[in-house]
Amino acid sequence: LVHLALGVGVPIGTGDTPVSLPTWGGANQWACHVNLTDPTPEGNKTWMFQYSYNADVPADRYDHPEGQVDQLCQVEELEPHEPCTVINRPDGNAYVMNTDGSVCCQFPVPIGPVRYDWVSASSGVYTGISDFEGTAVDTWQIQGQAVNHWEQSRDGKALPVAYWEWATFPKIHEQGLKQWEFMLDTYARTSQDPAHFEVPAG
């Protein structure tokens, strides 16, 4: 029931395996608003953030609003829950900063941007057709630190619909749902300026 309430894909059939494996977001440059559900010590929290991606840099960027509880943003240099930007750079590091970049720090654990070919690079497996909030989607499973689930549209456009996993929050050692729901009315396969993924000097 928790699965259904939070929108996690429900298997409805195997269907035909798509001709090609999906890429991250369906384009090498794109941007979209994401409705994020994240596990915290107080239970699952949900908020909207802006996501930008450029596989040619490669880099990705998360712009979180006031009230966010993103794990990377909870660093001592920033006030809890203030607006926060995270940029994953090609050097394999994540950089966390406030919105104007006047406070910036390198996250202590290397992360790096999502690989464009992440499904094929991780030997992802097609698991059939699922229902995500009333929409039939193609679904893959990808083994990472947890089992990742990727769901994309079956309308021939290969649009990202959802990504989710059962994640363990390090401070409580319990699993909770981590889910990205892509707001497709904001999705744009448009050029993403490399300067948008730069971090402040020093």
**Which range has the top average pLDDT, 46-55, 74-83, 135-144, 148-157?**
46-55
- pTM score of the predicted model: 0.88
Q: Is the pLDDT of residue 82 over 90?
A: yes
Q: Are 105 and 95 in contact (CB under 8 A)?
A: yes
pLDDT tens for residues 17-52?
676 789 999 999 999 999 999 887 777 899 999 999
**42 CB-near residues (< 8 Å, 6+ apart):** none
Structure tokens at 164: 């989710």
**37 CB-near residues (< 8 Å, 6+ apart):** 6, 44, 45, 46, 177, 178, 179, 181
Q: Is the pLDDT of residue 5 over 50?
A: no
Q: Are 26 and 32 in contact (CB under 8 A)?
A: no
- How many other C-beta atoms are found inside a 10 Å radius of the C-beta of residue 199? 19
User: Can you say whether residue 42 is alpha, beta or left, with left for phi > 0 and alpha for psi between -120 and 50 degrees?
Assistant: alpha
Measured CA to CA, the distance from residue 130 to residue 10 in angstroms comes to 5
Q: Is the pLDDT of residue 194 over 70?
A: yes
